[in-house]
Structure formats: structure tokens, C-alpha cells
Structure 1
Amino acid sequence: MHFYSVSLSSPFWVFLVFIFSLFPRPSISALESFIYVGCSPLKYSPGTPYESNVNSVLSSIVNSASISNYNNFKISLPGSTSNDVVYGLFQCRGDLSNSDCHECVSNAVTRLGTSCVGATGGALQLDGCFVRYDNTSFLGDEDKTVVSSKCGPPIADDPDLFTRRDAVLGFLGAGGQYFRVGGSGKVQGLAQCVQDLSASECQDCLSEAIQRLKLECGSSPWGDMFLGKCYARYSERGYSSKSDNDDDVERTLAIFIGLIAGVAILIVFLSFLSKVFDHKDGK
């Protein structure tokens, strides 16, 4: 009778190492995918009260994001003048947990600090959160300026897709909460306002975003329209906290498990054949 052992230098282990090398490395969460950044051209001097107020606002934003999905601030530390006041806010996507919101906002503040070094104001939008600070108050002001818009490649006429897209956008624009999500078949959409707006201002902003989205992305399977204080989006893929790379990992893992199962079955079969032949030789 023969016993089969597999050494670390065997072809089987070499095969395993090769398969593991094919696994893609996990990438940043889709919630932290970059959308846009804007920085004020005005600069502040290092070591001034204004710099201290900026740092305090950004710290307050990060800390508050661990317990809520939205908050705004007006910071004026002792020793500051009226010109040193800093205003700030953050807004996370309505379906994020506190931990996801905190992680997203922390990442946004870090990127904002890198992108807008020394700037008196800045705004940064990631897929899952929005952060802004400035030396003039913007809290409660409606802003329908287009800051980012993207459309998928035009596709051939697809009546079902476009009908469902229009139904989703119609639902998102019908009024309701600051965060809205809806779907029809394979088409999903979401819309959101920054919560410093009133309900009527939110509705006005979203109506503008959806109108522009239909106009610019009319023949696309997906589209994004971000205004200064709101956004509307639709896609066939939908929106979740899982990145595209996570899908690749799952597919690769499924293939890997299948290959391992196949190799295991082959080894068992060869071992069985060996036992059969050994039994015949013994006779």
C-alpha cells in the first residue's frame, strides 16, 4: 500500500501559491470613492487664530460623525476676531451607519487637508459623505451650482431601461425626506440634500438636479448630477458600500474553491486507483 504525502515543494503547493497570487488586493471602499474637491483661492497665514479655528472645525466634524450623519459648526476660539470665524458642516449618505459615516468623513477631512493646504475654505465630496468649511457663512444657503456631473456612455434604444429610469427619477423628485432611494427592476437611484436646507429648498434643489440629469444623461445607463447642496444619481448597478474590487474578490474566490475541489477530487481518485492496483499486485 502506498501513502501519498504533499510536500511544500510539490506541484500542488506551487499551484496553491499561484492561485493566491491571482487574488486582487482589497481597494478603498466604494463609499470613499472621490467625486470632487474645490478650494478657495484665498490663503490664511500659518500660526494665526484662523488656522486654529479651521483645525477646530475639522476636528469637530470628524468627532461628530461618529454619532450622527449630519452636523454644522461655527467656531471662534478665544483670541479670534470676527474675521477669524470658521463655518463648517458634514453630511453622510442617509443609509450609512455611524461607523461608516465616521470612517468616510475622516477620510474626507484628510483628503481636504491635503488638497486645500492653507485655503480659507474648501469642499470635498466622496461617494458616501460631504465636508465643507469656509470663512463666510454658507449654512442654510441654497446652492444649485453644478460642481460635478458624469454620464455613462450612450447606448442603443432600450425602452425598458429608459422607462424604469424615468420612473425612478420621478419617484426621487416627488418630494419627501432629505435622503431618498428608489428602484425599478435593474435601475436604482438615490438623491440627497444637505440638511441645512429647508424642506422646500431641498425640493427645489433636487428638482434642478434631476432635470439636469435627464437632459445631460438622457441616453446613458447611469448618471450623476452633484449640485452645491444636493445630488441625484441613477445606475443599473445600484449603490452599496461594496466596491467593484470586492466583486472581483468574490468571483476569484469562487473560481479558487472550484479549482481546489477539483484538485482534491483528482488526488482522491488517484489514491483510489493506486489502492486498487496495489490490491491486484498483492493477489
Structure 2
Amino acid sequence: MCSRFSITTIMPAMDSSRFLFCLFPILFLMINQALAQNCIDEKGNYTTNSTYQTNLNRLLSSLPSNENGNGYGFYNASYRLNSSNERIYATGLCRGDAKAEDCRSCLNNSRYTLPQLCPNRKEAFGWNEKCILRYSNRSIYGVMETEPSPYYWNINNISSSDLDGFNQELRKLLDSIRSEAAAGGSLRKFAFGNTSGPTFQTIFALAQCTPDISEQSCSDCLVGAFAYISYFYGKVGGGVNRPSCYFRFDLYPFYDPTTVKQLPSPPPIHSPPPSTSTTNTSQGSKSSKSRTVIIIVVPIIASLVLVMFVGICLRVRKAKKKLQSNLIPGEDVGEIGSAESLQFDFDTIRIATDDFSEANKLGQGGFGYVYKGRLFNGQEIAVKRLSVNSGQGDLEFKNEVLLMAKLQHRNLVRLLGFCLEGVERLLIYEFVPNASLDHIIFDPIKRAQLDWDRRYKIIVGITRGLIYLHEDSRLRIIHRDLKASNILIDEEMTPKISDFGMAKLFGVDQTQGNTSRIVGTYGYMAPEYAMHGHFSVKSDVYSFGVLVLEIVSGQKNNSFRHGENVEDLLSFAWKCWREGRASNLIDPALTNGSRNEIMRCIHIGLLCVQENIANRPTMNAIVLMLNSYSVTLPVPSQPAFFKDSNVGSDMSLGWKNSSEVITTGSDRSKSSSVKAPENEVSLITEVYPR
């Protein structure tokens, strides 16, 4: 496990990219995305909702603007408090390899977080991996300050036999980057490098000072920071953060040299001006030469810029094509832009979920956790955070993003955005307050609140969602993981199909496909898919049938206790149907509703789970079956995975049996019937078909 020690207050939270590194199993220091802070008590406090607080917020909100920055990650601003010229000062420093957008994002997040972590303090200092933020009621620009000096380290130790060699090489490396950083100039004082350590190890390090201090001050600040290595002597990595400088080292490349913005070249050394005796002829000659140089150089530069632009465009286009490969055959590459426009910044989601706190955890799926969050505008969201070792790769992630960005239907969960940053992959959905169907229908207390009208509404809603996927969307989509936990229920008890990570896209004329990678949930998987990898719209129909039987019975498909026996739902349902006692499948908690409607849903569920693919109805046919009693229902055949065990004729989920026969449907040559329970007339009300 990774750990860190600091002499200041720390908010412990691990950067996801380092968490992955922990798994490999090299452990590293936790310089994290969460802001750590030092609140300076002796500089005084301000009153909540005072003018000071208002002006501080104004100052911090304007700090990351272009007019306050030097173009290389350093920001400096002040704000006058009143007519007495009392001011608030603030500076921001981003790591030298931080991209401009990441820099501003880090400072924007810090300006929200630091005042919350240091409430009412007039002076505070906060830092995380990408940036440092300071503010005070005294001038801090150009002042070299060395305290506080929080430090941290990687808990792994250097082998005792390598210790001397490691420290010798480390000292050389740190001294080298100290000199380079200090000499960086007034725009940026930043340096990084690596060196070979003992036993083929590579040591990486960086150092940086705020560019407002002098070269000597920067060097002195770093020398003092290096002295703290004695506190974590013998560790493979560590670092120190100071208000005016910081450094860090470790055994892996934690910085990105390719994103370091190049400093402008120093101005050229000009030749002495020509003497006054220079003739007009020579001046004209020089002017002519200058024009010639311009005529030659400008087209060359323009051509190079054009080539670079074309190269960038081709690279972006190639990346978009790669994103869509194996996802949507024949789809226009440009349409991926609709998904890219929904991209969220990782820090925004981290703050919205309170750093993915346990209190905001909604549940756990097959690929990670789901968290509740609230954006700055007050909108509630659900964040699906895929675990690093979840098994869902970039293909599935991009698949789900691309699918959900284009699917809009009342019975599908709406995708608000996504985040793909390092190893972090997040999907941001609308927040659905009533959780998933399995939390309701399988709970003995909650399912009593689901009367038949609500259950029927859920069945119909799922049907409409699947019709949209199979028939009405631009492409035919096979969900492949339809189950109770992937049906979310909103405040109006409207079902919404979610989790499209396993979905497959078909062309308009395509009807089936094959795969060697079987994904999904056993119990809901059609036999042809589970055993042979064949999938089609009828695979989803099978899963829908299992869902219908679960909704009617209130029992899980894999197993439930019936007396002294443990039954699987499909076998129990088929035996009840075959022996004319299908009403025994009905959840005893259902005390009202249309008897014929419930029986018809059982009938439809059994038609959907038939082993023969051709015998299963389409979702369009199922809608007709649900909405019109004039549609004749065929007799179902034995379901797949049927287990024949000795269950007596008195099987029931809680009601008495009777010999009354009710015809529920027929084809041209056959009819099927079920026997109703003795007290069904008083418990289930007969209503006109919907």
C-alpha cells in the first residue's frame, strides 16, 4: 500500500495513475490530485461573508486568466480591499510539464478547494501534483519562502548493497537539475532529468522554483529542500514541497518531457550599426538582399506550417478512425465528435463526487463502482468509475461512449459525458433516484410496494427501450447484458436500460453475429450465445423473458427456495405451466391487478426463453402481445437449461391450488391452459385489457 507523511495537514487521496503503478508492484509516493494545504494561523482570520472573503473569491477566480499569467504556468495577481490600499495577493505555479488546459483546470479546482480546507484564513498554501496555489494579505511576489516544507516518500527501500551507489547518483542528478532550474530565467525555473543507478535502475527527478525569485534564491531554496532527504534516507522515491520551490525523484518517469513548452530563444546579438559614411548604394544593396531573403524564407516557413497543419489533421483523423474501428461498420468518422464534445475534466468529477468518497458510493458493478455526484451547477449525476483491472478495455469503454452519446430514448439512461484521463475511465450519467430494479424486486419489503400496475409499466417500458435498440435507432443494437441490475428506475417508476459496455452494433441488414469472447451474466444469457457465441436480437429477447418472469414472481432466475427444494426460475415456471398451475408462479405480494394480464405476461415470458431461436418472438411482436388480446399467443416449448426434478403438483409460491381452468391463448390447432388459485377472484381484480 502506498503511503505519505507530511508535517502539514494532508487530505489523503491517491492519484489514479499511481494507483496502477502500485499494482505492479513498485510503490510510489502519493503526491495526489487532492489538494494538500497549510493554513497560516498567525496571519489572522477573516469573517465569513465579509468584504474580505468576497474580494478573495474575486481574486482567486481571476487568477488563472491570461492577463495574470506569464504564458509558462506562473500566475500573479492582487486585489485592493478598500481605500486604504490594503490588498490581497495570490500566486499560482503549475508544474513545468503541465499542459495549459490542465494548468488552468488545476488552479481553478484549487481556488475552490483551498478556502474550504483553510476556512477564514487570510493566508494559505496548497499544492498537489500539477500546481501550487498561495494567497495572503501581504505581498508574496518575489519573496523566497521555505516554510512550510512538507515531505513524502515511496515506502519501498533501496537494497542495502545498492544504497551508496544510489545516493551518489541521486545527488549528482539533483545537483544538475538544481543548477539548470535556477538558471531558467524570469519565465520559468524548471528542470528534469534521469540517470542510471545501480542494478540497471533509472532514477528520474525534477525541480522547480517560482520564476519571480532570483537564480541564487532558487538555488538556495532547493539546497535546503534536498536536506530533507535525510528524513526518508534509503527510499526509492520522495520529494519536498515549499512555497518557493519543490523537487521530487522516483524510479519511474512521473513527468512528461514532450509537454514541456519551449522557452523563447534569446535575442540575437546585433552587429554594430553601420558608420555614417555608408553610401546610399550600399544601403540599397542591403535592402535588396533583405527583400530576397524575405522572398525565399517566407514561402519556406509557410510551406512548413502547412505541412505541419496537414500532418496534425491526418493524425487526428487517424485517431478518430481508430476509435471507431470494430464498432460501427460504415459509420461516418466525423460523428465521433459528438462523443468528444461530452468529455469532462477528471478534476471536475473528482470534486463532484467528493473525491469518490465512500459516502457517495451507489453500488458496484462488474467493471467498477458507481458514485453519486453533484456538479457545480447543482445537477446530480451518477459516475461509473471503471476499475483498472476491471477487464473492460478501451474498446468497451469507447463503445459505450459512442453508443450512449447517440441514443436518446425515454427508456434508456441518458449519458451526460465521459472522462478518459490516464488510466481513469469514467462515464457520467443522469442520476436515477430509485436505483436498479434488482434492489426493489428481490427485496421482500420493497417489492411489496410494486403493485401489478407498476410492474406492468416496467415490463412495457423495457419492451419499448429494446424496440428502440433493435428497430428504431439508426443501427441495430444488441445489448447482450440485459438483467435486473441494468434496469434503473426513476422517480416516476419509469424503467431505463443502462450499461452498454457489452453492446454490439449490427448493420441495418445484419441479423446475427458470432464472438469468441462470451460476456454477460449467466442466467440471462441465451443458450446459443452462452455455448457457441452466437448472438442476435433474439438473445436480448431471451434475457427479456427471464426479466418478465422475475418481475412477475419476485424471484431471482438462478435459484430460490421452494419448500425444501432449491429451484431455478425457468424450470419452476415451465413445470407450473406444463401442469396447468402457472398462477403458482405469481408473487404472493401481488394482491391486485388483472389476472389475465399477469397470466399473459407469464405466457410471453415463457415464449421468450424457448430454446429454439426461431420460436422466440421479436420485440415488435411482444408489444402487440402486451397491448392486444386479439393477438393469439402460440404454445411455448420447453425453455433452455430446463432442469427436471421431482416437484409435486402442489408447487406454489404461497397460494392455495384449485382446479379452475382459464384459457390464455391458442394457435390454429392447439390451446394452452393454466389453473387459477382458489382465492384468486378476491385477490386479483379483472380489468379490461390495456
- In structure 2, what residue type is equivalent to 1:107? N
Equivalent in the alignment of 2:37: 37
Counterpart pick for 1:206 among 222, 235, 250: 222
Summarize deviations over 1:211-267 as a string: whole Å, max 9, x none: 332x2333110011122311111001231489xx9997378456999xx98637xx8
1:165 maps to 2:170: yes
CA distance in 2, matches of 1:207, 1:174: 10
Given residue 183 of structure 1, which amino acid in structure 2 is its aligned partner?
Answer: N
The letter of the residue matching 1:71 is Y
1:263 corresponds in structure 2 to 517
Residues 61 and 250 from structure 1, CA distance in 2 versus in 1: closer, same or farther, beyond 3 angstroms? farther
Query: Is residue 2:221 matched to residue 1:221?
Result: no
> Does residue 1:139 correspond to 2:141, yes or no?
yes
Q: Does 1:191 align with 2:207?
A: yes
Partner SS, residue 124 of structure 1: strand
Q: Could you report, residue by residue, the CA deviation over 1:86-142 in whole angstroms, capped at 9, with x for unpaired residues?
A: 011100001111101011111111110211222212111111101111111122111
Q: What SS is found at the alignment partner of 1:58?
A: helix
In structure 2, the partner of 1:70 is 74
Matches of 1:125 and 1:68 in 2, distance apart?
18
**1:1-283 equivalent positions in 2, closer than 5 A:** 33-34=33-34, 36-41=36-41, 42-64=44-66, 68-76=72-80, 79-82=82-85, 84-153=86-155, 154-157=157-160, 158-159=162-163, 161-175=166-180, 176-177=183-184, 178-185=189-196, 186-213=202-229, 215-240=230-255, 249=388, 252-253=391-392, 263=517
Contact persistence 1:190–1:233 (CA under 8 A)? yes
The 1:35–1:106 alpha-carbon spacing in structure 2 relative to 1, beyond 3 Å, is closer
Q: Distance in 1 between matches of 2:83 and 2:240?
A: 38
Q: Distance in 2 between matches of 1:156 and 1:255?
A: 37
| Cα distance in structure 2, aligned partners of 1:240 and 1:253 | 27
The answer to whether the 8 A contact 1:50-1:80 is kept is no
Q: Is the 8 A contact 1:35 1:126 kept in 2?
A: yes
What CA distance in whole angstroms lies between the structure 2 residues aligned with 1:247 and 1:174?
Answer: 42
CA–CA separation in structure 1 for the residues paired with 2:51 and 2:138: 15
Cα distance in 1, alignment partners of residues 145 and 124 from structure 2? 15
Q: Residue 81 of structure 1: CA displacement?
A: 2.5
Name the CA distance, whole Å, in 2 between partners of 1:37 and 1:147.
11
**Equivalent residue letter for 2:241:** F
Amino acid at match of 2:247: A
Checking the alignment, whether the CA contact within 8 Å between 1:44 and 1:51 is kept in structure 2 is yes
Spell out, residue by residue over 1:122-167, the C-alpha distance to the aligned partner (whole angstroms, 9 max, x if none). 1111111011111111221111224211123333222554444233
Contact 1:61–1:71 (CA under 8 A) maintained in structure 2: yes
Contact 1:50–1:85 under 8 Å retained in 2: no
Q: What code does the residue aligned with 1:165 have?
A: L
Spell out, residue by residue over 1:180-222, the C-alpha distance to the aligned partner (whole angstroms, 9 max, x if none): 1111242110111112211221111112212332x23331100
Comparing 99-108 with 175-184, greater Cα deviation is found at 175-184
Q: Which of the pair has more CA radius of gyration? A: 2
Contact 1:32 1:107 in 2 (8 A): no
Query: Given that residues 64 and 75 in structure 2 are in contact (C-alpha distance below 8 angstroms), is that contact kept between their aligned partners in structure 1?
Result: no
Separation in 1, partners of 2:386, 2:215: 37
**Distance 1:44-1:255 versus aligned 2 partners, 3 A rule:** closer
Q: Tell whether the 8 Å contact from 1:144 to 1:227 is kept in structure 2 after alignment.
A: yes
Structure 1 contact 35–148 (Cα < 8 Å) conserved: no
**Counterpart in 1 of 2:645?**
none
Say whether the 8 Å CA contact 1:222–1:235 is kept in structure 2. Answer: yes
Listed one character per residue, the Cα deviations across residues 32-77 of structure 1 (whole Å, up to 9, x for unaligned) are 6246311233221244432232122101213348865112112115
Is the Cα–Cα contact under 8 Å of residues 169 and 189 in structure 1 kept in the other structure? yes
SS in 2 for 1:72: strand
Paired amino acid for 1:130: I
Counterpart contact for 1:36–1:147, Cα < 8 Å: no
Distance 2:15 2:195 in 1: 29
User: What residue ranges of structure 1 are gaps of 5+ in the alignment?
Assistant: 1-25, 272-283
Q: TM-score, normalised by structure 1?
A: 0.70
The residue type equivalent to 1:166 in the other structure is: R
User: Relative contact order (C-alpha < 8 Å, sep 6+): which is higher?
Assistant: 1
Which has the larger helix fraction? 1
Q: 1:133 to 1:49 in 2, by over 3 A?
A: same
Over 3 Å counting, the alpha-carbon distance change for 1:62 and 1:71 in structure 2 is closer
Task: Let me know the Cα RMSD of the aligned residues.
Answer: 3.7
Task: Return the TM-score normalized by structure 2.
Answer: 0.31
Report sequence identity in percent.
21
Equivalent residues, number: 239
Change (3 A) 1:133 1:146: closer
CA contact (8 A) 2:15 2:32 kept: no
